[in-house]
Structure 1
Amino acid sequence: MLKNYVPPGCPMHMFVQKYMRLQFGRESDENYEEKRTRIGKPLMRANLAVERHASKIYTRAMFEQFGQILYESGAYQVQEVEKQKTYIAIHSDAERREKWCRVSYKVTMLDGGNEFECECGQFAHMGLLCSHVLKVLDFIRAKEILAKHIVKRCTKDATDVLPAHLAQYQKDKIRDGLGLEDRIADKGVVVNERIADAVVADQNDKVVGLAADIGENDSMSRTSNRLDGLLAPAKRKEMGRPTTSREKAPYEGLSKRTRFCMICHRQGHKRTTCPDRGDIPKQPRKSARCKNCGVEGHRRNNCNKAMELRLAGGM
């Protein structure tokens, strides 16, 4: 990934600039894919129940790859070796395939039908089911992709990643339909019900512990709402007409070239003001030379030859 941005043997300051540009490019690509997933309409290839379920959970790019794999599954036929346990996916044109091509794959059902394992190992490699497992799912008339075969990095909720102390409120770890604030409030209602039960049972220690849980929930809700009223700082309008130049990103900033002294080779001053200059005489200034006649001692604005030419032209 860095090879496309950072040249080999670059200095550290250039590496930091290129790394910031890499982050900017990655965020731009992610925003583009999120917008494409949100606005674009999925294109169905087979109109199967599994495909409709995949269009709801996968991003647009991953769904396109899933559709290609689903199209390839149409070239296989399923043979049931052991019911609810072992299946074999055989290619329809097995006789016409090359000798080095594999034409049959063994698919095993695990955990009572909650997981499938294929000999090709495509799911472990890229996180998408292979065409052989999809053909078996169609054979057993499955309506959804199994939960164990849904990888979060391929779904629309791939960016739903919360800090460690809030990880329990992620969409994949709590029931659907509740936002972060609703989940925290829902937990507070449950704690209140437990406090009421503890008061009835006269359990003082349990009441104190549950009250502490409520305080933690209130602090978490206040923390989540702390930035609600925060506004952008007021920008002072400068005098004159507004500039047409855009605000450049940090990685586009160009620093001025550092100049060094020609005597001590240090920065911050020139050779004329160098403390190590000593008794070195200053170089004499060059005498003025006329650009009209080439004679030193005057300039072309007071050159006698130019004046003579003007007078001769007037006569």
Structure 2
Amino acid sequence: MPGLKPGFSLNGREWSLLAACLVAILVFALAAPAFATGGNAATILRNSVELLLIGLGMTLLLAMGGIDVSVGIVMGLAAIGVGRALGAGVPPLITALIGPLVGAGLGIVTAAVVVLGRVPAIVGTLGLLGVYRTAIFVLLGGQWLSGLPTDLTGLMAATILGVPFSAILIALAYLAVFVALRRTPFGPHLLAIGNSEEKARLSGIAVTKIRFATFIVSGTLAGLAATFYVATYRNVEMTIGSTLALDAIAAVVLGGTSILGGRCSLIGTVLGVLLLRILQNGLLLVGVPSLWQQVVTGALLIGVLSIEVLRGRLVLPVLKGARA
């Protein structure tokens, strides 16, 4: 399928990302002995969970020619729902479902604004970002939601045949998206919309339905990320998810998904997430203040887009991709 990398074989961009990950690991291992430990590797993987899920949704949105800069705050609102349910004694299995349900509901709101309201995605989701951020402040009353029970933690930390439950769920999410993209009409239609929404509409593709569904899927994945977040940290802070949208966009674009739509790579997204988290973790261990992590993320994003422009694969204006 043109524009979609198979996901189980690596292309040039993905081999480069893999090499970059290995080089970064080597450099940080030499610069900070604490980096090359099993405990730190587990920390990097643990810190990648939410970004892997949100990045998967962002991959679909960008491939469609859309974007959602509010997705991190969507995770925050879903986390509040999960935290409140956990604190109220709701059974863990039901609590685990609250995150994806809240995320799906907020995805419907986003889709209504962007798709039905015909508001440009960058504008609509930026507006929702402000609304959702205020909602978090109001719901938390200016205080952290902390000291939550461990019931959900035990459930999400379980293993199946020695494999962490979180890894299984993430793998299943990526597999489901891969199958949808490769084995159903959803994939070609999504990429066709990303290449040219008008041509896709003229060819009989249900553009509105696919765009609406994609925003809901992205919201659901953000909600699932919220469940993992609460299960791991057992708190919800005021600033939850504030940098996740930028991290997701950077990781997905690093992985080879076009910010203008029509091209995506699932394995590229995974490698982009890992590279980003390796860099952030390594810089922290060598003494670089965490404030500079977002500088690195932004610089990587600008650098990749600049290379795409120079190679002629990205045609300005860049915000053409924000139309959806």
Q: What TM bracket, shorter-length normalisation?
A: under 0.3
Instruction: Return the structure number with greater relative CO, CA threshold 8 A, min gap 6.
Output: 2
> What's the TM-score, normalizing by structure 2?
0.21
Larger radius of gyration: 1
> What's the TM-score, normalizing by structure 1?
0.21
Structure with greater strand percent: 1
